[in-house]
Structure 1
Amino acid sequence: MRVGIAGITGKFARRLVAHLLENDNITTTMKGYCRNPAKLPEALRLFPKLELIQGDAFDDEVIRSFIQGCDVVVCCYLGDDKLMVDGQKLLIDACDEEPSLFPKDPMIHVKAYLETKQNVAGVHILVGGFMEPVFSPFFNIFDPESNTFRYWGEGDEIMEGTTYDDAARFTAAVVVNSKASGILKFVGGCANIREIAQSFEKVYGVSATLERRGSLDDLYKHMHELRSSNPQNVYGYMSLFFYYYWINGQMLVGPELDNAEYPEVKPVGYEGYMSKWPREQLATSFFSLAM
């Protein structure tokens, strides 16, 4: 099997590569597509079963070269609307011209676009939110200096979470399942911010403080104000949009999940994730994701 990974320098993509390499039951070679291969660890760049192709998400000619010969293409893009919709459409167009190939992407617009294609069968994997950013500066939820958990809403909103590593394990299992199709839903753990704080206290034996920042309506207004004032600064408001739709109930993945279809993957919940890290490293654990 030959697997193409678009956006291979990202954290999730690296974990996906690691778990594909762990599977001894199949012979897997890979092609990676990225703007800057130098961002990959040297061990990965020099891996004999991985071919790296350098190019931009909108370089049609290079993208077509990238997908040639692949049995599966996994899209790991992350960026603004142009990249996430137009960039993926371009990738799908290239796949559509290559028989017996399907790319995976969870985006609604991309799903609709896939359904217009004759030679591309899409598999869409939903995992809730990634757990690691909850404790990182990205969301600004957890303050490691004061053991404070900041939140918007009432504090009882469910946060379905899956670690990057477990999401990559599920994806690797789906990639080698020739019968996989449609929308697949996987979740590692479900908890609200109060329960996450309680798990923190249990794991580390210290008190945690909860700090409410405002209602969900306040959050909605705030994130749109930031976007309107500086739309080009995607990372200035991206985390707030993620957080809002994560906890407002619109994007819940469960309760009906596909975890049981892949029993070889045993995901951890929030408490299990925290148990893997010393307290002083929890806030930076997001940045430790690598091969």
Structure 2
Amino acid sequence: MTITVGIAGITGKFARELASILLKYPDIKIKGYCRDPSKVPEPLSSKVELSKGDAFDTSAVRSFVAGCDVVVCCYLGDGKLMADGQKALVDACAAEGVPRYVASDWTLDYTKLKLGDLFPKDPMIHVKAYLDAQDKVKGVHILVGMFMEVFFNPVFGTWDADSATLKYWGTGNEIWEATTYRNAAEYTAAVCADKNAVGIKKFVGGRATIREIAESFEKVYGVKPKLENHGSLDDLFRHMHSLREKDPQNVFSYMFLFYQYYMTNGQAHLGPECDNDQYPQVKPVNWEDYLRSVPKDQLLSAHSNVGKST
């Protein structure tokens, strides 16, 4: 029996990874929704039923979700899009009889945080509450920690390629939970194919401390990275809030520090018990596996290359 999966925001990195994996399932049909279908690359565009519209075009959204067995939201944008845009999708699913909705999560366990703690994830808290109140649509929330590709992206602030230095706050023994985009998409595809999969699902590729990541780095590349400590987690908390108070408009000066804090302080950890075993056909990609898959000189650009192989 064919399962129809709708992907909203199909031009995005994660969406393209997900679509390429879903195409390998013989009994899955894909519908895609985006503002500009011409941005969907071949061969994906010829294998997916594409429709055009923005997040707040009610009739276009309803037409897109009609006939879907599950809708996956891959929106990535400002708070209005991530909250109100998703609520519009959920409303369309309810109106058109779509039984499951996969929210745009793929992050740490924000359900353990209060509004305002990790402010970029506040919309997800609102969307989960909105889904919890639905009686026609079941919410699905896939949590994966952070993306490994982002960890090595220059904007995140943990890896300096020029000096081969891993920078961190805390003791260096804090756990980093992470999953690659591809691995997260594989788990998401498995959830889409499983009609009984609802609620919170936790999948983690690897759990390791910064010291263990450094050991894996040396093992894979033959280079021992330096470790640079910037202070305690309490120091990080004070620093990130100080930057935000001084210049709140300069979001990128402090946003990734908030992520580093809540990724490592244990408050929003997924593990050690996760749901990986529910889908044994998907092999978790741990930190060392990831490093083996990426040449050292491509670590900085790996994030920008996500989704380009589809």
TM-score normalized with structure 2 length: 0.86
Identity of aligned residues (%): 57
The alignment status of 1:277 with 2:275, answered yes or no, reads no
- Which one-letter code corresponds to 2:8 in the other structure? A
For the 8 Å contact 1:147–1:208, the answer to whether it is kept is yes
TM-aligned CA distance change 1:83 to 1:260, over 3 Å = same
1:104 Cα deviation from its structure 2 partner: 1.1
Does structure 1 conserve the Cα–Cα contact (< 8 Å) formed by 2:71 and 2:98?
A: no
Alpha-carbon distance change, 71 to 228 in structure 1, aligned in 2, over 3 angstroms:
farther
Aligned with residue 204 of structure 1, among 209, 215, 221? 221
CA contact (8 A) 2:100 2:198 kept: no
Mapped partners of 2:53, 2:242: distance in 1: 34
**Whole-angstrom distance in 2 between the partners of 1:195 and 1:284:** 22
Question: 2: distance between equivalents of 1:81 and 1:238?
Answer: 14
- Is 1:258 the equivalent of 2:256? no
Could you tell me which residue of structure 2 aligns to residue 43 of structure 1? 43
Give the deviation of 1:34 after TM superposition.
Answer: 2.0
Equivalent pair of 1:80/1:234 in contact (CA under 8 Å): no
Q: Flag the 1:125–1:205 CA change in 2: closer, same or farther, 3 A.
A: same
Structure 2 counterpart of 1:110: 127
Match of 1:130 in 2: 147
Rate the CA distance shift 1:55–1:169 in 2: closer, same or farther, 3 A.
same
Cα deviation, residue 230, structure 1:
5.3
Over 3 Å counting, the alpha-carbon distance change for 1:83 and 1:242 in structure 2 is farther
Q: How does 1:187-198 map to 2 (within 5 A)?
A: 187-198=204-215
Deviation at 1:228, TM superposition (A): 4.6
**In the alignment, what sits opposite 1:32?**
32
CA distance in 2, matches of 1:52, 1:289: 21
2:103 maps to 1:85: no
Residues 126 and 185 in structure 1, CA contact (< 8 A), matched pair in contact too: yes
Q: CA offsets per residue over residues 127-160 of structure 1, 9 Å max, x none?
A: 1111111111131211111110111222111111
Letter of the aligned partner of 1:209 in structure 2? Answer: K
Distance in 1 (CA, whole Å) between partners of 2:42 and 2:126 is 35
TM-score, normalised with respect to structure 1 = 0.92
Output the amino acid matched with 2:221: Y
How many residue pairs align between the two structures?
287
Q: 1:126, 1:35 → 2: CA distance?
A: 26
Q: 2:204 and 2:177 mapped to 1: Cα distance?
A: 6
Q: CA deviation at 1:92?
A: 0.8
Counterpart position of 2:120? none
1:215 correspondence with 2:232: yes
1:233-271 superposed Cα distances (whole Å, 9 cap, x missing partner): 554543233222111111111122111110000011101
RMSD: 1.9
**Pairing 1:96–2:98 present:** no
**Which residue of 67, 70, 73 corresponds with 1:72?**
70
